[in-house]
Structure 1
Amino acid sequence: MGVIIVTLFANAVETIQIGVEDLLRNDERRVLSAVRNVHAGVLLLCKEKLRRLSPDDEILLAQRFEPQPNDKGEVSIEAVGRNTIGVDDIKKRFKAFGVSLDWKRFDAMADIRNHMEHSYYKGSRERARQAVADALLIIRQMLVEALQEDPRATLGSKCWTALLENADLFEAELKTCRAMLENIDWETEAAARALSDFACPSCRSALIRQRDPANTMQQRAVLICSACGEEAELGPVLSQAFDETFGGETHIAVKDGGEPPISTCPECSEETFVIEEGRCAACDFALPEDAACAVCGSGLSAEEYYEHNALCSYHAHTASKDD
């Protein structure tokens, strides 16, 4: 009886195929398995790329490697320990070798998987569809661009067609949800800009919509998740969306010692106060245009105006020392 050798690439393909089969089954018990398998298959595709980039001994799959002298007096690179790379190492090595991947979409898929594994929510199938829809674009990017493989030929016509149809179904539902949100006359430009990052705080699904599709007033908007059916408060939804939309700008501002675009609202305590617009995107709090320090006349931030009795941070600190 011959020994069957399963390559890393074959394992990746089979794992994705099993995940898609799980999704197609009319069995709620297989939904989590579908997400797990597709996620695992994508990771294996990433490892396959690093395997192909390795010189001749799959060294790039090792979590750690070090230079070692060999018998010929030369230096070779050898793996240290038996641990293989995780996601963070894959990201670093892809960057080092110039391999492109939509990591934001990958992380969104992983986030859904983590929530499904650790919490129970209604609407698991809808969340699974989103995770697999995200996976489709990553799978295509890995197969076509990184590995130079044909997706339909590699995965099989049935699996590839199912991935495409799932993505079409999810995108249609997402488009409907987004259209309901776009009907709202948002009170800040920041909120309108962040619509594409709206997600349910409970289950992380992007299928967040208005309960009343005809409503156009922000303060009357009642948000509901089409995936888990839970209502969502506007503040947490905006705070989570702003973290995605303005995360890059915030990182640069903090690194360069500047002011981040979003701060904590002193009224509702959500991370939804838009510095440039001088108001909170979630509640009615707005910083008066003439808000200035009563001592030096310098302009006040929302925090200074609300917490320091109309004094700038410096003079508020000085006043506290005099007490």
Structure 2
Amino acid sequence: MSELFSNAVTSIRLGIEDFETDDSDRMLSAARNYYAGLLLLAKECLIRAAPEAEPSQIIGARFKPIPNGDGGVEHVIEGYTTVDLSQLRSRFKDFGLTWPKTDIKKLQSYRNDLEHYHLKEPSSALSEAIASSFSMMVEFFGILGENPQELLDEVWETILEQKAAFDKIQADCLASWEAVQWKESVERLDLLACPECGSSLVAQLDRENTEHHEIMCKCFRCGNESNHEKSIEMVVEACFEVDAYLMAKEGMNSPINTCPSCGLDTYVETGDISFCYNCEESVSGTCARCGNGIDIHEYSPDHEELCSYCAYQWEKMRDE
């Protein structure tokens, strides 16, 4: 067993042991140890995928070019920083490895809060974030061809029990949304986040309701109930927050916008979709002056038939 893999197993075991106590202070330690163990497992997956290579050349985060004496350069590791979560995902793809589908963005966010500031959410949300990521850990062990039950024997039952409990409640919550009729398909509701505690265990209050404009929801972690306006904004955020993050990294506009008709943050503009998930109004059209397309970013509420630029020019000419 390599030192890195041994450290990964130890970190996960210590994290789960802290997790078992259900103590708020120990839960903070659980997040640090468990998250560190996950990243170490992922790094071990990369290293075993290229067994003849120097590990530092695989998991090093920064490299610099050095002249090789023959007119070319070679890239050598710079410093001791290793790859972070985002870089790991990218290198998994480069190495032909499948990155687990489990979303650990919340766990990553909570862990970063602990490292740099303080945890803003209650420890119960942290507990859920850890439990919901157990499947990622198991998938990493699968890639490595290792048996997690043997390696984590002392805490394995806790892992199974917590994962089963979380999966059962989450499946029940997701089922509560199935009857709702939407203009476009709604996905990623497992990313719903309670505004009070951050839990994803959010269900529709009236499970028989089919109307999207009547939805209200309840958190099964803290019991918080959200009215229709907040509920539908939560749905839109869950469905498109990943796209918003990726588009922001590319310097693009967010797909989630404030609807000029109902005023909720439920207008979605993706190129394929241009309408409000709440009131179903759409500003999509063609500018009567220049012929360019109008979307939510080019829409002028005072001149609905014009794009924002032509509306500006019209107002400028009128004021002269």
TM-score, L = length of structure 1: 0.75
Q: How far does residue 9 in structure 1 lie from its aligned partner after superposition?
A: 1.1
The alignment partner of 1:237 has SS state of helix
The aligned runs of 1:56-71 (5 Å cut-off) are: 56=54, 58-66=56-64
Counterpart of 1:128 in structure 2: which amino acid? S
Q: In the aligned structure 1, how far is the partner of 2:55 from the partner of 2:125? A: 42
Alignment-derived partner of residue 121 in structure 2: 121
Unmatched 5+ residue regions in structure 2? none
Deviation readout 1:30-56 (Å, 9 max, x if unpaired): 222222221110011122234443624
2:244·2:254 contact (CA, 8 Å) conserved in 1? no
2:215–2:232: 8 Å Cα contact kept in structure 1?
A: no
Change (3 A) 1:98 1:108: farther
CA distance in 2, matches of 1:285, 1:86: 40
Cα drift, residue 309 of structure 1? 2.5
Structural mapping, 1:168-317, within 5 Å: 168-183=164-179, 185-190=180-185, 192-232=186-226, 233-244=230-241, 251=247, 263-274=257-268, 279-282=275-278, 284=279, 286-287=281-282, 301=295, 307-313=301-307, 315-317=310-312
Match of 1:163 in 2: 159
Q: In structure 2, what is the Cα distance between the partners aligned to 1:221 and 1:177?
A: 14
Instruction: Read off the aligned partner of 1:204 and give its amino acid letter.
Output: G
Distance across 1 between alignment mates of 2:192 and 2:267: 17
* 1:131 paired residue number: 130
Change beyond 3 A, Cα 1:113–1:174: farther
Choose the corresponding residue for 1:154, options 148, 151, 155: 151
Shift in CA distance, 194/297, structure 1 to aligned 2, threshold 3 Å = same
Between stretches 234-243 and 164-173, larger displacement belongs to 234-243
Structure-2 separation of matches of 1:182 and 1:127:
27
Matched AA of 2:223: G
Tell me by how many angstroms 1:152 deviates.
1.6
Alignment of 1:8 onto 2:7: no
- 3-state secondary structure, aligned to 1:206: coil
State the shift of 1:240 in Å: 1.5
SS for the counterpart of 1:224 is strand
1:319 alignment counterpart = 314
1:127 is displaced (CA, Å) by 4.2
Residue 91 and residue 205 in structure 1: after superposition, are their counterparts in 2 closer, same or farther (change >3 A)?
Answer: same
Aligned to 1:107: 105
Partner residue, 1:85: 83
Question: How far does residue 306 in structure 1 lie from its aligned partner after superposition?
Answer: 5.7
Aligned alpha-carbon RMSD (Å): 4.0
Percent identity of paired positions between Structure 1 and Structure 2? 30
In 1: Cα distance, 2:205 partner to 2:55 partner? 57
Offset at residue 93 of structure 1 (A): 2.8
Amino acid at match of 2:128: R
When the two structures are aligned, how many residues end up with a matched partner? 306
2:37 alignment counterpart: 41
Structure number with the higher helix fraction is 1
Q: 8 Å contact 1:292–1:310 — kept in the other structure?
A: no
Q: Give the C-alpha shift of residue 198 in structure 1.
A: 2.5
> How far apart, CA to CA, are the structure 1 residues paired with 2:57 and 2:291?
63
Amino acid at match of 1:45: L
Structure 1 gap segments, 5+ residues each: none
* Aligned-pair CA distance for 1:59: 2.9
Decide which moves more: 16-25 or 218-227: 218-227
Cα drift, residue 322 of structure 1: 0.7
* Secondary structure in 2 matching 1:307: coil
Deviation at 1:315, TM superposition (A): 3.7
Q: Which has the higher contact order (CA 8 A, sep 6+)?
A: 1
Letter in 2 for 1:93: R
- Structure-1 separation of matches of 2:35 and 2:91: 19
Paired with 2:215 and 2:94, the residues of 1 have a C-alpha distance of 46
Is contact 1:239-1:270 (8 Å) kept? Answer: no
